[in-house]
Chain A
């Protein structure tokens, strides 16, 4: 477990120092997590169920407080008023408001922030065409497929033009085809907008396909056990999946992940 040295001049966007999270019921979800993520990285959190991936993500976004240690995002504590629009969050479920149209759902962050109607309209339309749903602005969530709902959710996260995109197993419920397609869309958003992405996943293949770096976590208590930089060059596409580099990365990430399972009580 060797931390990756930050290249000269690259500012850390997220800095987690010795972060603990203990819930009210005594569960230690995260222990002594230290992690530095630089601007523009694509980091995957990979680990068995219950190892604190979602908890870590929620602490970074300010939705959960830390029990010990510090987190700074862009120099601010998470949840401070300045970070609100800098973070986009995509949940495992699409989490759309069923009573609102696609347009209104994507517009929500802007409405909450008091962005003027005219500007909001152009930004929502932009975000929707970014995910290929420009024609569905007036549809209701129930009229969309699972993959389309997920794209709406991504559009909503992107509409505030965040610097940081947090995704918590966004495509876990989707079929392989939609998943592959959405993976490519996320990569292209990341590249074209210069985002920083933290992507939680259970899938070794997904993490290797997407990320520049994979953070492997273990459970009980949740902690980081490996931090693996991936050498695969971007842009990544079908050819990358066939490359020896990809196979090699999958192998080393799998090995690291298996290491975390030694401690897991399989009866759990």
Chain B
């Protein structure tokens, strides 16, 4: 077979790299600039109109509160972070395990799916009081609430993903007499990964929402409480800057979760999946 051409991969072009770098920088600079600008406008309007700080505090005052109340706020933030991450981790474990069971067996899916749907469609605020009554450990109760919210997308996407393998590729694996384990490892899991990643992005945000909602229901009781309790507490005491500071931390937490899951998805799928591939041209 000496007549075959051997083409070589396209050489890297300099202008493209330069353009890519610029785009990369803009990706950080533009959002930061926009946010800084918005904060500036806020600060200016509050100062210019002399808005009292118990209505709308200026960003500078919120920042000051973040520093002065830093210790207690950080403690609360750590509580919420712990709650959210544990709920997310349990949602991943539960969702993936159940999703695999569903993908393996239709009867199991048909019997258990209704429960999953009921859990999903019932608003967590409505179940939370019951859970708080039945589960004496508050942290465990909060964890269950956040878990319920986060787990469904992972379950359903994992189950769908594991079923989505290309039928010719399935035949390929049959032809070479792959073991069930090989089929799972080399075909089904890679096929399901994009579905799982999409679910993870959603579940990360949902875990935080579930955690905050559950904390709200639980109220401010107990010493070791999260950011939602700080918000409630501040609203009772009319400490609006502190409320904004806690709110700010919740947002930071949400954004961090979003950025990490987006980063993870890109890291895992970036080299092959359409959703994460940067198009050229």
Within 8 Å by CB of B182, from A100, A112, A160, A185, lies: A112
Contacts known (A63-B175, A113-B176); A135 close to B9, Cβ less than 8 A: yes
Partner-contacting stretch, out of A22-30, A86-94, A208-216: A86-94
Within 8 Å by CB of A140, from B8, B171, B271, lies: B271
- Chain B's interface size range is 20 to 34
Residues of A with C-beta under 8 A to B175: 61-63, 84, 87, 89
Give Cα distance in the complex from A133 to B174, angstroms: 26
Give Cα distance in the complex from A58 to B193, angstroms: 29
Secondary structure of the B contact surface, majority rule: loop
Give Cα distance in the complex from A130 to B3, angstroms: 10
B190's closest neighbor in chain A, by CB? Answer: A99
Contacts known (A89-B172, A112-B177, A142-B272); A134 close to B9, Cβ less than 8 A: no
Give Cα distance in the complex from A112 to B181, angstroms: 10
Contacts known (A84-B176, A132-B4, A135-B9); A89 close to B171, Cβ less than 8 A: yes
* B6 at interface by CB-CB < 8 Å: yes
Contacts known (A61-B175, A62-B175, A112-B182); A95 close to B5, Cβ less than 8 A: no
| Interfacial residues of chain A within 99-125, with CB under 8 A of chain B in the complex | 99-100, 108-109, 111-113
Q: How many residues of A contact B (CB 8 A)?
A: 39
* B7 at interface by CB-CB < 8 Å: yes
Interface Cβ pair total, 8 Å cutoff: 80
Q: Mark B159-174, 1 if CB is under 8 A from A, else 0.
A: 0000000101101111
Q: Can you name 30 A-B pairs with beta carbons within 8 Å?
A: A58-B171, A61-B175, A62-B175, A84-B175, A89-B175, A91-B172, A95-B169, A97-B186, A97-B187, A98-B273, A99-B190, A99-B271, A99-B272, A100-B272, A108-B176, A112-B176, A112-B178, A113-B176, A113-B177, A129-B1, A130-B1, A132-B4, A132-B6, A134-B6, A140-B272, A142-B277, A160-B176, A184-B3, A185-B1, A188-B1
What residues of chain B have their CB less than 8 Å away from a CB belonging to chain A? 1, 3-9, 166, 168-169, 171-178, 182, 186-187, 190, 193, 271-273, 277
